[in-house]
């Protein structure tokens, strides 16, 4: 019989052949490397049969799907080890996830990382035994009988559609409910490691039972595993929540509420420096700054569409706009986005085609009702500030404006040394607008990326409800990817608010609107920067750039005099005048990630020099004060 390969070619195989047979027919090397397959777009085991005309692809360690099959299989091995070690374990779900796998379990023993050595040792024995993953399809009644002592599995079985295929996988004496696919055997797992234990409600429902979630990861080589574990250790060292506290950048207080960061003086300095830097650049690029309220009457949100599409993520409240005798309650909403305000500002005046493009920007603080379980320091907060901008333009100006925005992205990300990639998200199922408008908008984003020589991937169906978008994802110093900048086409809001402009032919047309943010959330961007630089921000952005350390009291006057010169040059400086040993002062400045430490003693005072110490490179020797002031002046905005 004939099957179709990914390149479109046809391969003849014997009647009754399996995916493994297809791999062998292609070549001995592929047969050895094969881990699973994809038949007619469905992932399957190597033992799965193929039929006449099937489309067949082979999954190997190099395939995008390979790592998921590996990690899902490793989750089963971990589950088998837990049963062997602790007996009566109740299992929830155990999927592969982005960086590994987990299994939710209920176990009499309270598991902790101290138990990992024993669990991993048993997993190693199961892997060494090269136990095959054996698939079986069973009836609903058989499945319920097989998992009668597994209440979570029984619940999952009962939720399956009546016509669902129910399958199990067995390795050794352990059988699990699973749709697969899996590796041919446990021996195909070369590198695995358990990473952490956490609590997790069954099905994520806080009203349901709390289970233990055991996390792990697996790779196709021990080297890849070691690299991942090193990066994990690095990520813990770089955690912006830990560094933010140690460096005095920001704080959270439960009394204030979940996900509401408060900036200490150093954090406020960083935020304002970022804003002022970007503000100057935006003025040069033809943007105009505006300021809009934090709350609006609900009618604004009903007009914009947010009331119908986004209400669950907003905060609404009532205000009495009448009197005590005749109360009249009006509903207001705290803004989750800045766009309606900018739209109303546009509508405040009549515009012609000569006014366009019109570019408004704002550092606008917004509030969104994020679930407490997903709030994570600065990276996901309920209150945050966006470097928001909206460009009102003609349909024909969209491509040029998006190209200009991508130029700005280049400038910002290049300043911080971020490599980045783009993703274009297309029309979602729940959306507003005509097919023609969506097609034109999506094509405009693609054309802008092509003109900018920016490669992109398509994310089908993940656009905003009002238009397609480009998401910019940056890669940090340890290889993690973060979603930052976004450019969104909006042909919906101008329509809803009745925006117009006078054309060259003296007719009325709707402007198109582009939403764009480069930092995105400034809080999130700051969190990324802290982790990217491990807290050691660039000189121009550091909240404290210089610490002067007088060796003795008689050197303090000279230290303060030079500090005044540094401030005049635009620098941020502090004199450590405390009665402490010099090594203690240096250690303190080093812990605070201060870029430069200047030591001043008799020699420096007499010669008009400073002894310079760099936080990364250590002792830089003796500099003239003029030399150092030049460095500070260059870093000033």
pLDDT in tens, 292-334: 999 999 999 999 988 988 899 999 999 998 888 888 899 999 9
Angle ∠(273,278,279) on CA atoms, nearest 5: 95
Q: Are residues 71 and 115 in the same domain?
A: yes
306 DSSP β-pair partners: none
Nearest by Cα to 58 from 21, 10, 13, 95: 21
Reported as a pLDDT band with limits 50, 70 and 90, residue 204 is confident
CA–CA dist 364, 289 (Å, integer): 11
Instruction: Tell me the CATH number at 387.
Output: 3.30.930.10
Note whether residue 325 is domain-resident: no
Contact residues for 271 (Cβ-Cβ < 8 A; gap 6+): 263, 385, 522, 526
pLDDT tens profile 75-103: 999 999 999 999 999 999 999 998 999 99
Instruction: Tell me the CATH number at 556.
Output: 3.40.50.800
Mean pLDDT over each residue of the chain, to the nearest integer? 94
Range of the domain at 616: 546-635
Residue 567 is predicted with a pLDDT of: 96
With a pLDDT cut of 90, the percent of the chain lying above it is 89
Reported as a pLDDT band with limits 50, 70 and 90, residue 160 is very high
Q: Are residues 371 and 500 in the same domain?
A: yes
Note whether residue 470 is domain-resident: yes
Note whether residue 550 is domain-resident: yes
Q: Are residues 96 and 51 in the same domain?
A: no
Q: Are residues 344 and 459 in the same domain?
A: yes
Q: Are residues 517 and 552 in the same domain?
A: no
Residue 309 is predicted with a pLDDT of: 80
Note whether residue 329 is domain-resident: no
Reported as a pLDDT band with limits 50, 70 and 90, residue 185 is very high
Q: Are residues 392 and 459 in the same domain?
A: yes
Residue with tokens 């002894």: 611
User: Phi-psi category of 552—alpha, beta or left, where left has phi over 0 and alpha has psi -120 to 50?
Assistant: beta
- 435 pLDDT more than 90: no
pLDDT tens profile 23-43: 999 999 999 999 999 999 999
- 433 pLDDT more than 80: no
Q: Are residues 222 and 343 in the same domain?
A: no
What single DSSP character describes residue 420? E
Q: Are residues 134 and 79 in the same domain?
A: yes
Q: Are residues 148 and 20 in the same domain?
A: no
Reported as a pLDDT band with limits 50, 70 and 90, residue 19 is very high
Residue 434 is predicted with a pLDDT of: 83
What single DSSP character describes residue 18? B
- 188 pLDDT more than 80: yes
Note whether residue 320 is domain-resident: no
Note whether residue 109 is domain-resident: yes
Q: Are residues 35 and 125 in the same domain?
A: no
Query: Of 481, 498, 532, which residue constitutes the final position of a domain?
Result: 532
Which three-class secondary structure state does DSSP give residue 437? helix
Contact residues for 344 (Cβ-Cβ < 8 A; gap 6+): 292, 300, 497
Q: Are residues 393 and 426 in the same domain?
A: yes
Strands 573-575 and 546-550: parallel
CA–CA dist 123, 79 (Å, integer): 9
The whole-number average pLDDT for the span 132-145 is 96
Nearest by Cα to 185 from 79, 62, 83, 34: 34
Q: Are residues 472 and 599 in the same domain?
A: no
- 124 pLDDT more than 90: yes
Residue 98 is predicted with a pLDDT of: 87
Check: pTM over 0.85? Answer yes or no.
Answer: no
Note whether residue 303 is domain-resident: no
Residue with tokens 């604004």: 300
With a pLDDT cut of 70, the percent of the chain lying above it is 100
Residue 396 is predicted with a pLDDT of: 92
Query: Of 532, 560, 582, which residue constitutes the final position of a domain?
Result: 532
Instruction: Tell me the CATH number at 88.
Output: 3.30.980.10
Number of domains in the chain: 4
For the chain, what is the radius of gyration of the CA atoms? 30
Write phi, then psi, for 5 (nearest 5 degrees): -90, 165
pLDDT tens profile 372-384: 778 899 999 999 9
The whole-number average pLDDT for the span 156-160 is 95
Note whether residue 241 is domain-resident: no
Residue 464 is predicted with a pLDDT of: 79
The whole-number average pLDDT for the span 518-546 is 96
Residue 444 is predicted with a pLDDT of: 94
User: Phi-psi category of 190—alpha, beta or left, where left has phi over 0 and alpha has psi -120 to 50?
Assistant: alpha
Which residues are marked as active site? Answer: 339, 368, 386, 388, 390, 469, 515
CA–CA dist 312, 316 (Å, integer): 10
Nearest by Cα to 177 from 199, 203, 152: 152
- 404 pLDDT more than 80: yes
């Amino acid at each position: 019989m004939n099957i179709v390969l990914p390149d479109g070619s046809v391969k003849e195989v014997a009647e009754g052949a399996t995916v493994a047979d297809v791999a062998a027919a292609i070549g001995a090397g592929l047969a050895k490397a094969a881990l699973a397959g994809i038949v007619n777009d469905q992932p399957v085991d190597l033992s799965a049969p193929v039929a006449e005309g099937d489309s067949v692809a082979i999954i190997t360690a190099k395939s995008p799907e390979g790592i998921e099959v590996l990690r899902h299989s490793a989750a089963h091995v971990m589950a088998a080890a837990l049963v062997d070690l602790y007996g009566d374990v109740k299992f929830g779900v155990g999927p592969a996830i982005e960086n590994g796998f987990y299994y939710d379990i209920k176990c009499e023993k309270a598991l902790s990382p101290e138990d990992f050595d024993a669990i991993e040792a048993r997993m190693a024995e199961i892997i060494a035994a090269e136990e095959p993953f054996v698939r079986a399809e069973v009836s609903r009644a058989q499945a319920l009988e097989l998992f009668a002592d597994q209440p979570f599995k029984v619940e999952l079985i009962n939720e399956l559609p009546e016509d669902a295929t129910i399958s199990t996988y067995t390795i050794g004496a352990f059988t699990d409910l699973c749709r697969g696919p899996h590796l041919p055997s446990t021996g195909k797992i070369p590198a695995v490691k358990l990473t952490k234990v956490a609590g997790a409600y069954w099905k994520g429902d806080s009203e349901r039972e709390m289970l233990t979630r055991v996390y792990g990861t697996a790779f196709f080589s021990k080297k890849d595993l070691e690299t991942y574990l090193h990066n994990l250790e690095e990520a813990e060292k770089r955690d912006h929540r830990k560094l933010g506290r140690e460096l005095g950048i920001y704080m959270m207080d439960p009394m204030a509420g979940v996900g509401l960061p408060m900036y200490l003086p150093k954090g406020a300095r960083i935020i304002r420096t970022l804003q002022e830097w970007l503000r100057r650049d935006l003025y040069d690029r033809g943007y105009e700054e505006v300021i809009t309220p934090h709350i609006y009457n609900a009618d604004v949100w009903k007009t914009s569409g947010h009331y119908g599409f986004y209400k669950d993520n907003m905060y609404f409240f009532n205000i009495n706009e009448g009197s005590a005798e005749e109360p009249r309650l009006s509903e207001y909403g705290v803004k989750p986005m800045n766009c309606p305000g900018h739209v109303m500002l546009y509508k405040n005046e009549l515009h012609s085609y000569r006014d366009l493009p019109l570019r408004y920007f704002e550092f606008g603080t917004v509030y969104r009702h994020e679930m407490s379980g997903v709030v994570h320091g600065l990276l996901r907060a309920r209150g945050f500030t966006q470097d928001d901008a909206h460009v009102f333009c003609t349909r024909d100006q969209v491509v040029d404006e998006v190209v200009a925005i991508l130029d700005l992205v280049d400038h910002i990300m290049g300043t911080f040394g971020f490599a980045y990639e783009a993703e274009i998200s297309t029309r979602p199922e729940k959306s507003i607008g005509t097919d023609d408008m969506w097609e034109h908008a999506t094509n405009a984003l693609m054309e802008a990326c092509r003109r900018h020589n920016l490669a992109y991937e398509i994310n089908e169906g993940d656009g905003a409800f009002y238009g397609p978008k480009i998401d910019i994802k940056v890669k940090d110093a340890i290889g993690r990817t973060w979603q930052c900048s976004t450019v969104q086409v909006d042909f919906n809001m101008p329509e809803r608010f009745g925006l117009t402009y006078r054309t060259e032919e003296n007719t009325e047309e709707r402007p198109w609107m582009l939403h764009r943010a480069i930092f995105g959330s400034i809080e999130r961007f700051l969190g990324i920067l802290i982790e990217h630089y491990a807290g050691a921000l660039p000189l121009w952005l550091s909240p404290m750039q210089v610490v002067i350390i007088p060796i003795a009291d008689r050197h303090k006057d000279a230290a303060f005099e030079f500090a005044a010169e540094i401030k005049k040059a635009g620098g941020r400086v502090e004199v450590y005048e405390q009665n402490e040993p010099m090594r203690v002062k240096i250690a303190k400045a080093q812990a605070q990630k201060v870029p430069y430490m200047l030591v001043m003693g008799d020699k420096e005072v007499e010669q008009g020099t400073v002894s310079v110490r760099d936080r990364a490179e250590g002792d830089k020797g003796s500099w003239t004060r003029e030399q150092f002031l030049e460095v500070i002046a260059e870093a000033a905005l």
